[in-house]
Structure 1
């Protein structure tokens, strides 16, 4: 049994992680950045989840991300170095590397983040990587892609609502491949890191084993929801023209929306699997997504 300190434990990831680590002694720390604050750590393992994620409404200031994702991480990591804790796990993101991916994203690609979210997460990564680590301590920078799981309220929930209402999916003409990450696979990896002290410190991408297209995702949602799959292959040129109009009149179907729904974003998880010593993660992308959709259905029926 280890004593584990989790920051940001009240969120989606933190809630699931606490449950998966329940054989250990769990301590949580709700914390925000305050200049010169002193953080005392009395634990074996520190899992730093606290931070600021994407702002879909685009009302946050750049400084909000700087403080939550960079300055706070510095404070927590410095406290870890001064403590007796042996393991530090930082939840970064693939967006610290790239907003668009040509080919498959691997760990040694030179980072080029574009958003305040990605830029500040990358700054935190650089601080950890460039700080001298004392003997007997190890660190892990985890870069998850889009995380899914029961009761997650992200973009999958929005897509589920479209299918559940019987609305047609108009972008079937676009072919893409995306990586997802089951919350169960995320918790599995963190458990393995904590238990296996021979896993080398460093950066690791986290993703399910399989790539899925948005069209396949729509099919999964329709199947689990017992709804008819109303996918329409409307010509790309027509969709792109509508998107350009949406840019001008603030219509929901705009160029940014189309890009997010139809882009390729494939992430390799081979490095972490090699480090753990496994060929496959325990949960397939399809299994995890089905569990996620079933939770949406349950929510709608309660």
Structure 2
């Protein structure tokens, strides 16, 4: 008998990829829209992958209440259904942003959540509800905290850097040194499959990220290599960049304080807990391999 996995949010980038990958791994997948009032009818399988949610609005135009309505209240309703059902596993896709908007050191699962944005707060409240419940014997829950996910078909925050290199515009921030975590879609798919198949992995919170940290300077170099472009990065002094950014905050320049922070901040995420639970030392793909695959897809 083929194991069936129920997926919410299947219209999104992650949902489409996981659904396709699990089907190739001999799972049966059922796509469920929580917008339909009758979603509870005949919902059955070995697991629910709860991907549906309101994504982080980087332009800050969304109402804060929308995040809580979708990311918190819908999660509560679906998790309550899971507790009363015969379904074995519940995967809640939260976010590292449910814990911290800034990570000066390395982010581990035990760090207490202190998000600043409505998005992060709504995701954290979903986590807290799940953690507050008594779990029936034979059931498991997994709170997944992925960092920035990328893959073919999803440019995400890589788009800005890709366009700079593609148009041969010099990247001006190479004087800044940082380290960031990324998550290629292929590694994400692998981790979910392993968790579904390994019944010995305990319930809990798990960070998802690639093994290696990369700087934005290294990312620009990877994009340049894939595009066969010269790396035109220049090290404009930090004091000048910060001054331009402050002006950009008022006159709406592409380079403002928020852009500089996103491109130059540290955001390192540990994936040691999930690898130890699965029993592996390395993920199938390096961070560079995943990024190269994603960038090659932009060209097409």
Q: How many residues align?
A: 296
Q: Deviations over 1:239-258 (max 9, x none)?
A: 00000101111222111110
Q: What is aligned with 1:110?
A: 112
Aligned counterparts of 2:36 and 2:77: Cα–Cα separation in 1: 8
Q: What is aligned with 1:233?
A: 235
Aligned counterparts of 2:197 and 2:77: Cα–Cα separation in 1: 25
Q: What is aligned with 1:280?
A: 282
In structure 2, the CA distance between the partners of 1:237 and 1:150, relative to structure 1 (3 Å rule), is same
Aligned counterparts of 1:127 and 1:209: Cα–Cα separation in 2: 30
In structure 2, the CA distance between the partners of 1:39 and 1:224, relative to structure 1 (3 Å rule), is same
Q: What is aligned with 2:15?
A: 14
Aligned counterparts of 1:126 and 1:201: Cα–Cα separation in 2: 14
Aligned counterparts of 1:241 and 1:112: Cα–Cα separation in 2: 29
Q: What is aligned with 1:188?
A: 190
**1:121 maps onto 2:126 in alignment:** no
- Compare 188-197 and 53-62 and name the one that shifted more: 53-62
Partner-residue secondary structure (3-state), 1:203: strand
Question: Structure 1 stretches of 5 or more lacking a match?
Answer: none
Q: State the shift of 1:228 in Å.
A: 1.1
In structure 2, the CA distance between the partners of 1:33 and 1:73, relative to structure 1 (3 Å rule), is farther
Partner residue of 2:166 out of 153, 164, 167: 164
Q: Deviations over 1:6-32 (max 9, x none)?
A: 000111101110111001111001223
In structure 2, the CA distance between the partners of 1:269 and 1:33, relative to structure 1 (3 Å rule), is farther
Contact 2:32–2:39 (8 Å) recurs in 1: no
Q: Deviations over 1:142-167 (max 9, x none)?
A: 00000111111311122111110111
> Which portions of structure 1, spanning 4 or more consecutive aligned residues, are displaced by more than 6 angstroms?
none
Aligned counterparts of 2:35 and 2:185: Cα–Cα separation in 1: 24
Q: What is aligned with 2:5?
A: 4
**1:100 maps onto 2:102 in alignment:** yes
Partner-residue secondary structure (3-state), 2:81: helix
Contact 1:33–1:68 (8 Å) recurs in 2: no
Q: State the shift of 1:38 in Å.
A: 6.8
Aligned counterparts of 1:169 and 1:151: Cα–Cα separation in 2: 24
Question: Structure 2 stretches of 5 or more lacking a match?
Answer: none
Q: State the shift of 1:56 in Å.
A: 2.0
Aligned counterparts of 1:173 and 1:30: Cα–Cα separation in 2: 46
Partner-residue secondary structure (3-state), 1:178: coil
Aligned counterparts of 2:73 and 2:273: Cα–Cα separation in 1: 28
**1:25 maps onto 2:28 in alignment:** yes
Q: What is aligned with 1:222?
A: 224
Contact 2:224–2:231 (8 Å) recurs in 1: yes
Contact 1:104–1:268 (8 Å) recurs in 2: yes
RMSD of aligned Cα (Å): 1.2
Q: What is aligned with 2:199?
A: 197
Q: State the shift of 1:33 in Å.
A: 8.9
